[in-house]
Structure 1
Amino acid sequence: MDLGLRGHRVIVTAGASGIGRAISEGFRDEGAVVTVCDIDAEALATVKGMTTAQVDVSDRDAVSRFMANAISDMGGLDCLVNNAGIAGPTGAVEDIPPDGWDDTLTVCLTSQFNTTRCAVEALKASANGSIINLSSLAGRVGFALRSPYAAAKWGVIGFTKSLALELGPHGIRANAILPGLVAGDRQRRVLEAKAQRLGQTYEATEAEAFSHVSIKDYVTPQQIADQCLFLASTRGRTISGQAISVCGDTQKLA
């Protein structure tokens, strides 16, 4: 399907691997002009057909420089995808290291502020401006033993809704994507950490997680990318302020 994204100017944070890689490649394959940043230099070296930059999204000054350069080089901006995030620590709230809490909120939430504040002026000049923020189902149902991550992802939804209200009059829409259990190394590491914490096998932990899901299969990064492409296209021009779950109907994160 041609979504009319040829020439669309897009920035994707943490776009060199996992969900971000699927998103950035999806835009590229639709003919968009894509700039990707990531903290992982090795992953960036494998990115093809896109402009890349090594950036720590928690470094506000570095983000400001990256955004200014990317927007200048592309001649504007039509879509910002805030994908960067970390899993954060696993443990009871009383055992969570304060630095782990701070780091998780900085990367998962504050980084979206860091990029968005630099993008708004360019998005106002776009005929099809949009912001897509990656949240998580943890931002809707909570997540025991993962309080920093859940808190940050709830914050992403509030930030997104506020952006939709604020920027809608300028023709800019903002939406959040809430993935459930996504296939990949990050999800595997999360389940491994929880299994270790609970003293049970990985298989038992995985089975417990899927016991709360109607469609008992992992979400793929490509499914997340497909949702982003639709939202960024003119087909999604009246969708804004939404927290859209792509989760197989997950009722609880276990």
Structure 2
Amino acid sequence: MTADRVAGRTALVTGAGNGLGRAIAHALSAAGVRVILAGRTAAKLEQVAGELRDAPAGVRTAVCDTAQPGAVDALRRDLSDEDVSILVNNAGIAGPVRELVDVEPDEWDEVFAVNVRGVYLMCRAFLPAMIAHRAGDVINVASVSGKRPLARRTPYTASKMAVLGLTLTLAHEVGEHGVLVNCLSPGPVAGPRMERNFRLEAERTGMTYAEAEQAFVSRAALQRMVTEEEVGAAALAILRMPGMTGADIDLSGGMIGR
């Protein structure tokens, strides 16, 4: 392992076909990491891979639905020739935007399958090799929504709180084996998902889109959303902190404190 703990290693990033997964993959690749892009849609993965083709450390794609045990087991077998020492569990879905009493059980189950069971299955599949090598890093992407109320988003909020609990406990389970497990909790990230949320909120309340956005952003100390590039940089920073495990890194522009 190199002095900066990053260059020369191999990272597996889930949900890597767009958004935060894409940004994290770009940040790691630029730091000299070989990146394996995992996700459910081959075309999106190949698009990101095309952006990283010239990276010296290389890039690879792997189609996988991380919520499905069989798919994750197949992924582990397919990557048996790779020394995955960094696992970034980023895959997730937003779920319904409704009052809890209007959320259907299958909607609730889908959010937890992707956002929580997927993290468990990926850790279960790829931690044994890290434990055997007595080295490795797991970054679970949670959300500030797991630490503060977010009206009409109960399934999502509850799932992200579960990821926080999973991270803290797992860090204590594998710490003696030299494996670090941390959480990265972004606040609202500028992009299509938040644009969707602002449209829905404007429709629900009668506000304009701009008013709905401002009402949300005003909760942050920086009075803005964070960017995908800032999330990628934060993931890289976590990997460069060898004494940190069981931590939850808030990246919300100060939203969690208000």
- Shorter chain as denominator, the TM-score bin is over 0.9
Determine if contact 2:134/2:177 at 8 Å carries over to the other structure.
no
Name the CA distance, whole Å, in 1 between partners of 2:171 and 2:5.
23
Q: Which residue matches 2:13?
A: 12
- The verdict on how the C-alpha distance between 1:63 and 1:197 changes in structure 2, with shifts beyond 3 A counting, is farther
Q: Which residue matches 2:216?
A: 209
Letter in 2 for 1:192: R
Larger displacement relative to structure 2 (129-138 or 197-206)? 197-206
Determine if contact 1:141/1:252 at 8 Å carries over to the other structure.
no
Determine if contact 1:3/1:30 at 8 Å carries over to the other structure.
no
1:73 match: secondary structure:
coil
Larger displacement relative to structure 2 (45-54 or 83-92)? 45-54
| Structure 1 spans left out of the alignment, 5+ residues | none
Larger displacement relative to structure 2 (144-153 or 218-227)? 218-227
Cα offsets for 1:74-107 (capped at 9, x unmatched): 1x22110000001100011111122111111111
Structure 2-normalised TM-score?
0.91
Report the alpha carbon displacement of residue 44 of structure 1 after superposing the two structures with TM.
Answer: 1.3
Task: Indicate whether 1:60 and 2:65 are aligned.
Answer: no
Q: Which residue matches 1:107?
A: 114
Determine if contact 1:191/1:202 at 8 Å carries over to the other structure.
yes
**Which residue of the other structure, out of 138, 150, 153, is the alignment partner of 1:143?**
150
Report the alpha carbon displacement of residue 131 of structure 1 after superposing the two structures with TM.
Answer: 0.5
RMSD across aligned C-alpha pairs, in angstroms? 1.7
**Which residue of the other structure, out of 93, 96, 106, is the alignment partner of 1:89?**
96
| Structure 2 spans left out of the alignment, 5+ residues | 54-58
Name the CA distance, whole Å, in 1 between partners of 2:180 and 2:221.
30
Structure 1-normalised TM-score?
0.92
Fraction of identical pairs, as percent: 32
2:84 match: secondary structure:
coil
Q: Which residue matches 2:44?
A: 43
Name the CA distance, whole Å, in 2 between partners of 1:207 and 1:132.
30
Name the CA distance, whole Å, in 2 between partners of 1:210 and 1:231.
25
Moved over 6 A (4+): none
Task: Indicate whether 1:32 and 2:33 are aligned.
Answer: yes
Name the CA distance, whole Å, in 2 between partners of 1:53 and 1:219.
28
The count of aligned residue pairs is 248
Name the CA distance, whole Å, in 2 between partners of 1:251 and 1:57.
29
